[in-house]
Amino acid sequence: MVTPELARSLTEISVEIQRQVGVLIDRRGHVARVVVGDARSVFLPDLTAYRRGRDRLCGLRWVHTHLNGEPLSDDDLTDLALLRFDLVAAVEAQPDGLPGQVFQAHLLPRNPDDRPWELLPPVSVHRLGDDFPQLISALEDEFQRTRREGREGGGGGDRAILVHVSSDARAVAEAGVAELRELARSAGLSVVDVVIQRRDLHPKYVMGRGRLQETVIKAMQLGAELLIFDLNLTPSQVNALATYTDLKVLDRTQVILDIFAQHAETREGRIQVELAQLRYLLPRLGAKQTASALSRLTGGIGGRGPGETKLEIDRRRAQDRIAQLEREVKKLGERRRLRRARRTRNALPVISIVGYTNAGKSTLLNQLTRSEVTAENALFATLNPVSRRLRFPREREVIVTDTVGFIRKLPEELMAAFRTTLEELDEADLLLHVVDASSPEVEQHIDTVRSVLKELHVSDKPTIMVLNKVDQCDGDTVAALGARYQATPVCALQLDTLPPLLARIEAVLWPAQSDAAAQAIARNEADHVSPSEDAPA
Ligand SMILES: Nc1nc2c(ncn2[C@@H]2O[C@H](COP(=O)(O)OP(=O)(O)OP(=O)(O)O)[C@@H](O)[C@H]2O)c(=O)[nH]1
Ligand SMILES: [Mg+2]
């Protein structure tokens, strides 16, 4: 405990040199460090050696003097939170060198009022109790208990706090967070809290210091080990944030890369993902990268870094590996081209299904062609295109190809790595642009997909927009979207909703030969006389 003798030595020296003086005391009561500051503040030494895991107190008390008898300052409370001291105490150094009041605070486990710390009432040095060890062990127990409860309630997976910082309108910010939440879920994480701060980006820490500090405390209270930012962070921001918070810091791109890494099953998919990861990593590999900064970067979420190496990777090797992978991607691209050429010789028309991720592309492919490719409620369930045959009446056949989903702000690295895969779209005779009509963001999704198609130079292909998941929407929404985009409503889960779409496909692929009925339906669709009536009852 802080004895009156110790307090007095601190205050005497402090008054004599007119600086704050403090000691860090471990749980056995030994002084671990002595620190001397200036008249108004102290700069604490690097205490990483004392960190004991992200969700525990560090085992040190920070006792220091204040020359003007002021209570604990914001800096003191920031230190308490970020360094996770057992306790922080400020001892008033009176002008005569004697200790006066003592101000103390400790962190709090999760509580109904969301209070991060408890400020104890100031007491005179002589009245400091000796119940400190009990207090700390009760606190640690409490922290552990709330964490355990949180874990049981929160599903498996690493625990993450999502952070959105921008000056965008509230609705835009919330849509961004909703998508990030889906991404996190698809990556197997459990989201324990969301922080939205509306302001311009802080150049170094992205969010304001105060909010960052609160977030760190929340992370501790909830046992979260990850901070995920809804934007793409610069390498120096990641470093600054990770160092300041001692949490693993990821951005949106990394989460997407991680989902891709988990879903890559084919050899080509794995190569493309590793390539994308390395391209993301390369500019982040400084000349003198510390091992811990590197593990934060390459670790991915559950340690799923790029395929080859983890810690020992350096710029040079990353570059070599990128070159090697690029060669392989190219080789596989050639093979794809050959396969395509063969198909073209067979002269079967090709329909490519494109669309925002999770729109229902694979489900539609399955339903159209009675196949069973993976379709699930997760973002980026499909990575590499799958082709199936679809038979139309009169012995007519087409190839239907599923593709990787798109997403807004698609990471450059991924786009580049998947370019050969997406080249498949070149040969398509018809694009089915599948849209999740039940998404509140449907229009934004459509715009995103259209701009990606444009980037791939396929936006002038014949395209049918398919309004999917109409079973989840009201008739008015479907009618409005249908009219606006000349789209055909379907429910990919229900076979009997597909005939209008099939008729429209026939009308595009075989305009001269398609029968009158089909043409009538196709016209009907395009004009949108009464699309809601086409929706399943
Ligand atoms: N209610 C409803 N759900 C649907 C419909 N079509 C698809 N789904 C569901 O939506 C989810 C996503 O379907 P997928 O077919 O995997 O979507 P995708 O576009 O291939 O997604 P990615 O490959 O991840 O980009 C699955 O849970 C489907 O069961 C529909 O018409 N109605
Ligand atoms: Mg899919």
Tell me if 333 is assigned to some domain.
no
Residue nearest to atom 29 of ligand 1 (CA): 376
pLDDT band at 265 (very low <50, low <70, confident <90, very high): confident
Please check the confidence at residue 296 and state whether its pLDDT lies above 80. no
- Assess whether 183 and 140 both reside in one domain: no
- Assess whether 49 and 86 both reside in one domain: yes
pLDDT band at 516 (very low <50, low <70, confident <90, very high): low
Tell me if 181 is assigned to some domain.
yes
User: 187-210: per-residue pLDDT in tens?
Assistant: 999 999 999 998 888 888 999 888
Among 122, 151, 180, where does a domain finish? 151
- Assess whether 144 and 207 both reside in one domain: no
pTM value surpassing 0.85: no
Q: Give residues (CB < 6 A) around ligand 1.
A: 355, 357-363, 375-377, 379-382, 405, 468-469, 471-472, 491-493
- Assess whether 194 and 92 both reside in one domain: no
Cβ-count burial of 153 within 10 angstroms (0-12 exposed, 13-18 middle, 19+ buried)?
exposed
- Assess whether 147 and 164 both reside in one domain: no
Ligand 1 pocket mutation, candidates 256, 357, 358, 388, criterion most atoms within 8 A of CB? 358
Tell me if 334 is assigned to some domain.
no
- Assess whether 529 and 410 both reside in one domain: yes
**Which CATH number covers residue 455?**
3.40.50.300
> How many CB atoms are closer than 10 A to CB 211?
18
- Assess whether 134 and 34 both reside in one domain: yes
Reported as type and span, the H/E element at residue 226 is strand 226-229
Q: Are 405 and 452 within 8 A, CB to CB? A: no
- Assess whether 138 and 252 both reside in one domain: no
The tally of domains found in the chain comes to 4
383 CA to middle of ligand 2, Å?
A: 7
Among 108, 123, 151, where does a domain finish? 151
Ranges 16-20, 326-330, 376-380, 455-459: which has the least confidence: 376-380
Distance from C-alpha of 25 to C-alpha of 11, rounded to nearest angstrom:
16
Among 227, 257, 287, where does a domain finish? 257
Distance from C-alpha of 443 to C-alpha of 437, rounded to nearest angstrom:
9
Q: Residue 528's domain spans which residues? A: 348-534
- Assess whether 471 and 385 both reside in one domain: yes
Q: Which residues contact 331 (CB under 8 A, 6 or more apart)?
A: none
Tell me if 336 is assigned to some domain.
no
Tell me if 18 is assigned to some domain.
yes
Distance from C-alpha of 457 to C-alpha of 465, rounded to nearest angstrom:
18
Q: Are 176 and 196 within 8 A, CB to CB? A: no
Tell me if 498 is assigned to some domain.
yes
405 CA to middle of ligand 2, Å?
A: 7
- Assess whether 419 and 448 both reside in one domain: yes
Tell me if 262 is assigned to some domain.
no
Q: Are 110 and 139 within 8 A, CB to CB? A: no
User: 482-511: per-residue pLDDT in tens?
Assistant: 999 999 999 999 999 999 999 999 999 998
- Assess whether 240 and 308 both reside in one domain: no
pLDDT at 284: 77
